[in-house]
Structure 1
Amino acid sequence: MSKLKLSLRLMFAYFAAFLAFSFLEQPHLYGEDESLHKGRSDGIVIDLPTSPGGEQMPGVTFYHDLHTKQLNDKEKDCSVCHMKEPNEDRFVFKYKRLKDSETETDMAVYHDNCIACHEDVKSKSKKSGPLEAQCRECHNTKDGDISSWQPIVFDKSLHNRHETAKAIVSPMGKDEPNCSACHHGYDEKLDKLFYDRGQEGSCRYCHKDSGSAPFETPSKIISSSNSAQKSITLQKASSMRDASHNSCVNCHIVEMKKFAGPVNCSGCHDLEEQKKIDKLQVVPRLKREQPDVAMITGWEPAASMESNQSQEEIEKIVENINQYMKPVVFDHKNHENNTKDCRTCHHDTLKNCKECHTLKGSDKGGFVNLESAMHDIKSDRSCMGCHEMYKAASDCAGCHAQMPEKSFAQTDSSCAVCHVVDAVESGLQKMDKTAMNAAAEALLKAKTDEYQKVANDKIPEKVTIGYIADKYEPSEFPHGKIVKAIEKRIEKSKIANAFHKDGTTLCAGCHHNSLPTEKPQKCISCHGKGDMLKNDGRPGLMGAYHGQCITCHQKMNVETVAATDCNKCHKEKK
């Protein structure tokens, strides 16, 4: 054996021994392999605020489920690490304390108790977590593990399961709805929580994702003596994370006295575990005293005008009622069925939209006025913004993806789809809110969204395109077949039927700058011969044909004819 080979083998053996020794010295938590940390959903970063004038150590990634598993195996529970509220059988999910204190004090709580527990495990000849003087085993700058944590969505199905659960009893008594077990407002004068029936809202209206102080967040706290949403003031409320853990986990492990839902991190925040949660196929409607149909107007209903405007202003509105945009009949119930939850539209409160987004705009609505709140196509919370997102669906994108984007001012032809109510003729100027909603419901029942197809004899069955007939056989475009296929795709869509009142609207999908008509202009009317783009961005005729057809096939997921199958349209000339 050569000296070089011998030297290399000795070096390799030394390096292998060094690695083995290094790994043996690494403290693994209760004997768990480090590979188990990869892709976990239970990683919690403990990172206390920096002390004034002190040095900051890196935060600690704490694997919660890894620790609770060891406790469960020893038939121990949350009380090992968490204290309970005084005089209440509820855990406070802070480590060994009821509230946060100064950094040095909280740091000592972690160090003294965590290390003591590790030493106790070590004394029993078991592998433990880091011990004293092994600071960098916890406080390190190594790349963190890839987290598999996913937010849990408390959707309509999950809400209904809690709403109808017999095990959840209202604190106000068995005969009361169990909504009060979770929902509450805050009475600032009495400094206490209370339940206000009919004013339930999303937890996130008050409990935000993050805050300016550890485990707390500046949030909207309700100040009221009668209504839970009468006035709003900024205060410090618990973060959404703390609020949900304090309520949900405590309910699951304490109040139920038995397993009622997940109590570990992965149970809610692991994607595979989320898939195991049963979902209702049909979810009953949420009970919140909301209207089935509402009338949206640009002015205040007569019965509420006195509290907001002078008599002179009221008389002026009534006199000039037709100078406002025509009111909109809003099918609230149908929109509920087609949204994830109430926050899809009611993003900050369940109040009527125009209480914050007034006609002129106000500070309560961030000076976003009613018109912008309803028509901003770049906002997923506005009516038009939401409708824009529907255009990206495969059944719609074939046409809409290629339509030239128009400004709001250029889309006035669609205004009449929603703004249809004649205020004077309907007598709305004398109605209060309840009467208006009743009128809206009657108008909705009388309305028809039935799609009016173009008569078959008006639709060309085939269109021959001979633009490059000098090189290939003319293309036979199956015009009638395609029109019927698109009609089939959208016939069950309420939103499509509302905006596409007749088949001529579909014609504008390809003839995109033509007015809806049974005889739209030919492509060559706007796209001339030649492949060069016009100064205004229009492609030549060949580019227009290929761009329109290929993009449509791609966007609508047409598989029967591949978008790149040239021979399907262009057969070689014989």
Structure 2
Amino acid sequence: MENGRKLLRGIALAAIAVIGLGGIALFASPSLAADSRPDVIRIDAIGQLKKKLEMPPAVFLHDEHTKALAAAGKDCSVCHTAAATGHTVKFQREGDGTDPKKLEKLYHNGCIGCHENMASDNLKTGPLDGECRACHNTKLPFKSVQAPVKMGSKSLHYLHVSSEAIVNPADPQENCGVCHHVYDAKLKKLVWKKGQEDACASCHGDKAEGSKPSLQTAVHTKCVWCHENVAQTSRAYYTSQAEAKKAQAPKSNKTLTAKQIKAEAAAEAAAIEAAIVTGPTTCAGCHTEAAQSKFKQVSPVPRLMRGQPDATVLLPVNNAKRPVGAPEAGMKPVVFNHKAHEASVDSCRTCHHVRIESCTVCHTVDGNKDGNFVKLADAMHAPASDSSCVGCHKQTVMTKKECAGCHGAVPVMAPGSCATCHKDVKGITAAQIADGSAFELSKEQLADIAAQNVAEEPKPVKPLDPAEVPETVTIGVLSHDFEPSVFPHRKIYEALVKGTGENGLAAAFHTSPLSMCAACHHNSPVADLKTPPKCASCHGIQADKMAASVNKPSLKAAYHQQCMACHDRMQIAKPAATDCAGCHTPRVN
């Protein structure tokens, strides 16, 4: 091989036992026997420059190399070029260039050269020159699986915000500027601007654009580099503390054996490593569910402020600026309790899914390119979207078993529910909305108006007193092979009321004491549910063709469908759907 491969001879990677994909030493490490790995990297830089390849892209197991480097006291700089803001993601270079042969030589000299150096020192190593298929292999005994890291999680984000190890040179009291930045066109550099912090994905996309790196490159460069620096700084601090403590300790006349000295040194090193508080630097440390389950959880998370109001007023369409001939909008404004919603979600990106801005920055009444042509009404009300108000509410109630039992039968946006949010706002008149003057109110004025309305909101409606609910209801109109079924009406009603207990959505949208009754008595007016009609009023004993056309099952099917489906959604195991005797006592002839 070329002399360039000998340049890495001084790097003692004594722990490497990797990448013998042709059977050379592939599974020498137990960790390589897993069915899936988060660190499988296919090196395809040459393929992007050269259309036709002689060999498939090489497979690289990143964590195995990282562990080996750490064991030898080395870091990422062995493979990745150091830069002012971290290490480059590419191997021993900043850019790919345009010469595929030059790039091929760089990889072979770097990788195989290192393996050869180790082999000449009688160390266990990876593939050597001529063992091409060991790296260039398409058949792997494991899958590449990476669990996404949710940096937007309030708990994980707060751990970084509150960390004393992350120091912003521009303002030591606020460390947001260590991670968040914007491009200043005048200064021609990245700077931190307080109050403009946003998600990385708001600027960085899937692919690099000019000098702006891709999201993957930006995140890995910034995060891993920072974790490494924090670990190195911490290690140096705790090492100096340990040495100072050792120097001040009284001298002992006891003579230690070489084995005891080695054991003490190992214990001291272990104590130093245990004291270091930093983030992971391996693929598995971030991109596995097992590792993420061990992330420290802060609860409750102190509110993260970015200039957001406690509440604001969402104004309807400005009719004064509607095009001539366009229909006027008639919806009333919405008082949005921002603080309450913050407490109920895990990330700001639940709603602000692209940028932390008002929805109207991207979404317009008629839709445009900036908002991916999603109209404002759909951004707020689309039932299938996790980011819309209605969609989020629907997802919330359908994932909570206490709510799903009823809301599988009652739609989230039931008739009349619009008025729960869209209503008269004290401090803004209909005339102000009609002539457009309401839209001239400042953010501070809207926040003050919203705060006043939130403070004066009526208390949630109390559900109907269980004493007013029949204790049992006997269902016997269809009894034939079984005795009439005795339905524990009050017990079930009390369980539903208890299940919705402190639920904020239930408090806001259950606007009638009889709201809880609407799931079973699903087509009766809510006001009449204190004395609802019998199920047989709508469902006949025999289903007819007309009934089937409007999805109206027979009486027997309606009873079973209502009860069994509710039990299924609420995860009630007993009685089982096939256990007839669990509800009906068999009739003895």
Per the shorter chain, which TM-score range? 0.7 to 0.9
Moved more, 72-81 or 31-40: 31-40
Within 1, Cα distance between the matches of 2:405 and 2:36? 39
Is the counterpart of residue 104 in structure 1 residue 101 in structure 2?
A: yes
Q: How big is each residue's C-alpha offset from its partner over 1:115-173, in whole Å with a ceiling of 9 and x where there is no partner?
A: 10111111122332111221111112214513453222222112111111122111214
What is the CA–CA distance in structure 2 between the aligned matches of 1:402 and 1:367, rounded to whole Å?
32
User: Per-residue deviation at 1:293?
Assistant: 0.3
Given candidates 497, 509, 518, the residue that maps to 1:508 is 518
Q: Distance in 1 between matches of 2:22 and 2:36?
A: 24
Aligned to 1:226: none
Residue number in structure 2 paired with 1:424: 429
Q: Are 2:69 and 1:71 aligned?
A: yes
Does 1:251 pair with 2:251? no
* CA–CA separation in structure 1 for the residues paired with 2:203 and 2:158: 21
Is the CA contact 2:363–2:376 (under 8 Å) kept in the aligned structure 1?
yes
Structure-1 residue corresponding to 2:89: 93
Q: In structure 2, how many angstroms separate the alpha carbons of the residues matched to 1:535 and 1:261?
A: 60
Cα distance in structure 2, aligned partners of 1:24 and 1:358? 54
AA of the residue aligned to 2:554:
G
From 12, 33, 57, the counterpart of 1:36: 33
| Bigger shift: residues 525-534 or 494-503 | 525-534
User: 2:148 aligned with 1:151, yes or no?
Assistant: yes
What pairs up with 1:41-190 in 2 under 5 angstroms? 41-48=38-45, 49-52=47-50, 54-55=52-53, 57-85=55-83, 88=84, 90-102=86-98, 103-143=100-140, 145-154=142-151, 155-175=153-173, 177-190=174-187
Asked whether the 8 Å contact 2:461–2:512 carries over to 1, the reply is yes
Alignment check: 8 A CA contact 2:118 2:125 kept: yes
Task: Return closer, same or farther for 1:535/1:28 CA change in 2, 3 Å cut-off.
Answer: same
Matching of residues 480-519 of structure 1 within 5 Å: 480-516=490-526, 517=528, 518-519=530-531
- 1:4 is aligned to none
Q: Which residue of 2 aligns with 1:530?
A: 542
In structure 2, the partner of 1:439 is: 449
User: 1:313: Cα distance to partner?
Assistant: 4.5
In 2, the alpha carbon distance for the partners of 1:539 and 1:345 equals 39
Out of 381, 391, 413, the position equivalent to 1:385 is 391
Q: 1:287 to 1:521 in 2, by over 3 A?
A: same
Q: 1:89 to 1:478 in 2, by over 3 A?
A: closer
Bigger relative contact order (CA 8 A; separation at least 6): 2
> 1:321 and 1:327 mapped to 2: Cα distance?
18
Cα deviation for residue 184 of structure 1 reads: 0.3
TM superposition shift of 1:287: 1.4
Task: Label 1:524 to 1:71 Cα distance change in 2 as closer, same or farther (>3 A).
Answer: same
Give the counterpart letter for 1:94 in structure 2: K
Kept in 2, the 8 Å contact 1:298–1:359? The answer is no
Indicate if the aligned counterparts of 2:540 and 2:554 stay in contact, CA closer than 8 A: yes
Match of 2:189 in 1: 192
How far residue 398 of structure 1 moved from its aligned partner, in angstroms, is: 1.2
Distance 1:128 1:412, change over 3 A: same
Offset at residue 40 of structure 1 (A): 2.7
- The alignment's TM-score, normalised by the length of structure 1, stands at 0.82
Deviations 1:163-210 (A, max 9, x none): 1112211121424x11111100113454311111111111111123x2
The amino acid that maps onto 2:127 is P
Q: Which amino acid aligns with 1:389?
A: Q
Cα distance in 2 for residues equivalent to 1:360 and 1:271? 41
Q: Deviation at 1:57?
A: 2.7
Matched position secondary structure for 1:186 = strand
Structure 1 CA distance for aligned equivalents of residues 366 and 67 of structure 2: 58
1:503 match: secondary structure: coil
How far 1:79 moved relative to its partner?
2.2
- Compute the TM-score of the two structures, normalised by the length of structure 2: 0.80
Partner of 2:244: none
Match of 1:333 among 330, 339, 345: 339
Letter in 1 for 2:226: C
Q: Provide the secondary structure at the position in 2 that maps to 1:237.
A: coil
What does residue 564 of structure 1 align with? 578
Q: How does 1:254-403 map to 2 (within 5 A)?
A: 254=229, 257-258=233-234, 259=276, 260-299=278-317, 313=321, 324-392=330-398, 393-403=400-410
Deviation at 1:425, TM superposition (A): 6.4
1:31–1:544: structure 2 CA closer, same or farther, 3 Å change rule? closer
Shift of 1:474: 1.1
| Residues 28 and 129 in structure 1, CA contact (< 8 A), matched pair in contact too | yes
CA distance in structure 2 between the aligned counterparts of 1:539 and 1:30, rounded to whole angstroms: 60
What is the CA deviation profile of residues 244-277 of structure 1, one whole-angstrom value per residue up to 9, with x for unaligned ones? Answer: 1111111121366235221222222232222222
* Bigger mean CA deviation after superposition, 243-252 or 515-524: 515-524
1:518-551 CA distance string (max 9 Å, x none): 2222211221112677222221111110111111
Any stretches of 5+ residues in structure 2 without a counterpart? 1-19, 235-275
C-alpha separation between the residues in 1 aligned to 2:34 and 2:585?
59
Say if 1:201 and 1:118 are closer, same or farther in 2 by CA, change over 3 A: same
Whole-Å separation in 2 of the counterparts to 1:257 and 1:415 = 56
Q: Aligned-pair distance for 1:299?
A: 4.3
Q: Give the 3 Å change call, closer, same or farther, for CA 94–454 of structure 1 in structure 2.
A: same
Counterpart check, 1:552 vs 2:548? no
Cα pair 1:122 1:128 within 8 Å, conserved: yes
Q: Tell me, yes or no, if the aligned pair for 1:27 and 1:127 is still in contact at 8 Å.
A: no
Classify 1:257/1:120 alpha carbon distance in 2 versus 1 (closer, same or farther; 3 Å). same
Residue pair 1:30, 1:128 contacting (<8 A) in 2 also: no
Shift of residue 497 of structure 1? 1.7
Q: Equivalent residue for 1:413?
A: 416
CA distance in 1, matches of 2:445, 2:485: 59
1:472-508 CA distances to partner (integer Å, 9 max, x unpaired)?
Answer: 2111112122112111111211101211112322222
**Contact 2:539–2:553 (Cα < 8 Å) also in 1:** yes
* Superposed displacement of residue 334, structure 1: 0.9
1:356–1:273 Cα change, 3 Å:
closer
**Which SS does the other structure have where 1:441 is aligned?**
helix
Q: Which residue of 2 aligns with 1:542?
A: 556
Whether the 8 Å contact between 1:398 and 1:552 is mirrored in structure 2 is yes
The answer to which of 474-483 and 50-59 deviates more is 50-59
Q: 44-53 vs 519-528, which deviates more?
A: 44-53
Q: Which moved more, 1:471-480 or 1:528-537?
A: 528-537
Residue by residue, what CA displacement relative to the aligned partner does 1:362-390 show, whole Å, maximum 9, x if unpaired?
A: 33222322211111111111101111112
Q: In structure 2, do the counterparts of structure 1 residues 78 and 29 end up closer, same or farther at CA, with 3 Å as the change threshold? A: farther
